[in-house]
Amino acid sequence: MSIHPRRPAACLVALLGATSAAATTTPDLETLIVTASRATLPAPAVASSVTVIDAEAIAAGESAFLADLLRGTPGVSVNRSAGPGGLTQLRVRGAEADQVLVLVDGVEANDIAVGGQFNFTHLLAVGTERVELVRGAQSSIWGADALAGVINVVTAKGEGPPAATAFYSAGSFATRDFGGSAGTGDARYNVAVHGRRLDSGGTNSARRGSEDDGYENGTVALRAGLTPLPGVSLDVVLRHIDARFEYDPTPFPAFIPADGDQATEVAQTFARATAAFELFDGAWKHAWTVALARSDNDNFTRGREESSSVGEKLKFEYLSDVTFVTPAIGAAHGLSFVLEHEQEDFTQRGAVTAFGNPNQDQDAGNRGYALEYRLALRERLYVSAAVRRDVNELFADATTWRANASWLASATTRLRASYGTGAKNPTFTERFGFTPDTFFGNPALEPETSTAWEFGVTQTLAQERIAIGVSYFDERLRNEINGFVFDPALGAFGGFTAVNVDGHSERNGVEATVRVEPIAPLRLAVSYTWLDATEPDATGGQAREIRRPQHSAGINLDYRFAGDRARVHAGVHYSGVQDDFDFAAFPAARVRLDDYVLVSAAARYRLSPRLALFARGENLLGQDYEEVFGFPAAGRAGYLGVEVSLGGGGQR
């Protein structure tokens, strides 16, 4: 199929008629969204583009890695360096990976020790209840890291009588995967504990050589809540990850992976405690939260520790939310005020050499003030506006804002529009990072800023058994930071650094989704994204940004049968041609990464109320492809497993 790259409407029509797909669906009208605002809102009140991966979709995919569930999501591109354990980046609407805020149970999880991005390779599907993805500028609500969107991962809480599950699976690449969950809860309390251990022999991540690079991950998650009095609640969440991944060096001058004995050990902790109470029958809510995110990274060569980095973010937050109505005009109002203080600390350790001294301790503080107003008129028109002021110790104070509108034109048609600004502070790595003879930080960097808008239409048909959504978005980014600029004056022989690029980067495109549920046991989701993401080049023109396919699509099919004892899942993900850099040349040469199609399948059969068998297959077509230049992706894989349930059933 030949599609003209400058005709997004034609692309949309053609791809919807083809075999395309998505990992998820647009939310139902009854769905409640917790990430698009500082208050929980029904889906019709949200003007931003939102995708929700619910517990049923997570379970149907049977995947150990949450990143696999996000493949094919509208506006999202996934790039993994080789097999299990390789750096896994998610980019939203052409933005950089560090311009998307990731929340793990409300904790800001972006790793300030490794470039301010979130490495999805360590995020296992441990007791995950839902994942929400809100696209577009969200800085006015969530702060600097949310320039291009927010991904919120929510852990399941305990419900009902005491229950537990345990599972074990094994398969390709010498992989063992086992874990379980236990929980209970009622109106007064809830508690749930989830754990998972994954060990993989890995795959060969180097073009030169044949050595497999292994991966280990142990994750434990806790969620507990208490309601001692009506309107008073206490909630605690904790997730701890211990991981170890082997990798190959990328030596000068080719900068292509070659067999070697290197490894990194990672320890991540995300913790949050919230105390809340309500006044006037819930019309005025108060919440105090303290959250901690910490990441320790130790790097080894041939078993000897060579360097380490630690990033820690401690955040205190107060939220006040007031709701009231004016019956005379059929209006409901909401007003949220947020006060935040966060402290970031960054530490790096390594050997002092002729190239420089990597040992450093850096810190930064930030105060944030946000105000959001929401208006609902006769449950047809929803309008909101938000403004945020950030007072930073290192950079000029920043103000971001947004305005949204969502209109139910009819019982089956919804129109929505959003306009806002975003900001992203330079990361500690970009300002102070140091890798001998390779990268030198630039303390003079300035924050990136953006303006973004979108317009969307959602149409339901056949008593809401069919839902079609189309969005157009446009974003302009200024002061984009390029972290691969060679400066001959650095180090003994020159080196790479980060600089703010003159001009602006442009990101626009079309996202389309179709959800079909013709009969209750069958669920089909289709999506397509056309993306045009460019940045200023050396000639003063615009060049396509790397690792952003212009076309991506997918399909997810889920079916239950045999009295709901059996279910099958099939997924197809298409990623179009994209560019990358080959750093063996100077200056770095652009190379083409070919398009590819990934087909996955999963099945589960419950032999009894307590015993189930499941299977999963990945890359079933055996595609030979790369998502990062020089790093071959994993080949065809299969896994088999068994699950045992005790008590009232558990959640996995």
pLDDT reading at 3 higher than 60: no
pLDDT reading at 517 higher than 60: yes
In a domain, 35, yes or no: yes
Lowest mean pLDDT among 52-61, 349-358, 459-468, 561-570: 349-358
In a domain, 176, yes or no: yes
Q: Compute and round to an integer the Cα radius of gyration of the chain.
A: 24
Q: What is the pLDDT of residue 26?
A: 57
Q: What is the pLDDT of residue 11?
A: 36
The number of CA neighbours under 13 Å toward the Cβ of 474 is: 5
The residue among 214, 175, 121, 217 whose CA lies nearest residue 640 is 175
In a domain, 3, yes or no: no
Q: What is the pLDDT of residue 2?
A: 34
Residue 493 pLDDT class (50, 70, 90 cuts):
low
DSSP letter for 523, please: E
DSSP letter for 258, please: B
Q: What is the pLDDT of residue 461?
A: 94
Q: Which two tokens stand for residue 298?
A: 């130790």
Q: What is the pLDDT of residue 291?
A: 98
In a domain, 422, yes or no: yes
E strands of 517-550, at which residues?
A: 522-536, 542-544
Burial track 145-163 (b if 16+ CB lie within 10 A, e otherwise): bbbbbbbbbbbbbbeeeeb
Residue 5 pLDDT class (50, 70, 90 cuts):
very low
Q: What is the pLDDT of residue 29?
A: 58
Which residues pair with residue 222 across a beta bridge? 193, 238
Q: Answer whether 632's CB lies under 8 Å from 163's CB.
A: no
Lowest mean pLDDT among 2-16, 429-443, 552-566, 614-628: 2-16
- Higher-scoring residue by pLDDT: 11, 292: 292
Q: Answer whether 612's CB lies under 8 Å from 604's CB.
A: yes
Rounded to 5 degrees, what are φ and ψ at 214? -80, 170
CA distance 341 to 159: 33
Lowest mean pLDDT among 13-17, 84-88, 107-111, 274-278: 13-17
Measure the CA angle with vertex 518, ends 455 and 572; round to 5°.
Answer: 65
Q: Which two tokens stand for residue 478?
A: 């200024």
In a domain, 652, yes or no: no
pLDDT reading at 533 higher than 50: yes
Residue 15 pLDDT class (50, 70, 90 cuts):
very low
Domain that residue 326 falls in: 8-647
> pTM higher than 0.85, yes or no?
yes
In a domain, 167, yes or no: yes
| Tens digits of residue pLDDT in 330-354 | 999 999 999 999 999 999 999 887 7
For residue 604, the domain's CATH number is 2.40.170.20
Measure the CA angle with vertex 37, ends 31 and 43; round to 5°.
Answer: 20
Average pLDDT rounded to a whole number, residues 566-576: 96
Q: Answer whether 507's CB lies under 8 Å from 533's CB.
A: yes
CA distance 471 to 97: 21
Average pLDDT rounded to a whole number, residues 41-69: 91
| Tens digits of residue pLDDT in 445-469 | 999 999 999 999 999 999 889 999 9
Q: Answer whether 33's CB lies under 8 Å from 52's CB.
A: yes
Burial class (CB in 10 A: 0-12, 13-18, 19+), 261: middle
Average pLDDT rounded to a whole number, residues 243-272: 84
- Higher-scoring residue by pLDDT: 499, 12: 499
Residue 21 pLDDT class (50, 70, 90 cuts):
very low
Q: Answer whether 615's CB lies under 8 Å from 628's CB.
A: no
Q: What is the pLDDT of residue 14?
A: 31
DSSP letter for 157, please: P
The number of CA neighbours under 13 Å toward the Cβ of 385 is: 0
- Higher-scoring residue by pLDDT: 255, 310: 310
Measure the CA angle with vertex 630, ends 624 and 635; round to 5°.
Answer: 25
**Residue located via tokens 């991962």:** 153
120: three-class secondary structure by DSSP? helix
DSSP string, 322-381: EEEEEGGGTEEEEEEEEEEEEEEEEEEEE--BTTB---EEEEEEEEEEEEEEEEEETTTE
pLDDT reading at 20 higher than 50: no
Q: How many domains does the chain have?
A: 1
In a domain, 2, yes or no: no
Residue 437 pLDDT class (50, 70, 90 cuts):
low
**Residue located via tokens 């000029």:** 396
Residue 318 pLDDT class (50, 70, 90 cuts):
very high
Q: What is the pLDDT of residue 464?
A: 87
Average pLDDT rounded to a whole number, residues 425-441: 81
Rounded to a whole number, what is the distance in angstroms from the first to the last CA of the chain? 41
- Higher-scoring residue by pLDDT: 489, 151: 151
**Positive or negative torsion for Cα 118, 119, 120, 124:** negative
**Residue located via tokens 């950089």:** 96
CA distance 625 to 78: 13
In a domain, 1, yes or no: no
**Positive or negative torsion for Cα 146, 61, 198, 650:** positive
The number of CA neighbours under 13 Å toward the Cβ of 174 is: 10
Nearby residues of 463 by Cβ (< 8 Å), 6 or more positions away? none
Measure the CA angle with vertex 96, ends 368 and 111; round to 5°.
Answer: 60
Q: Answer whether 489's CB lies under 8 Å from 497's CB.
A: no
Q: Answer whether 38's CB lies under 8 Å from 336's CB.
A: yes
**Residue located via tokens 């149970």:** 105
Residue 604 pLDDT class (50, 70, 90 cuts):
very high
- Higher-scoring residue by pLDDT: 483, 553: 553
| Tens digits of residue pLDDT in 274-311 | 999 999 999 999 999 999 999 999 999 998 999 999 99
171: three-class secondary structure by DSSP? strand
- Higher-scoring residue by pLDDT: 212, 172: 172
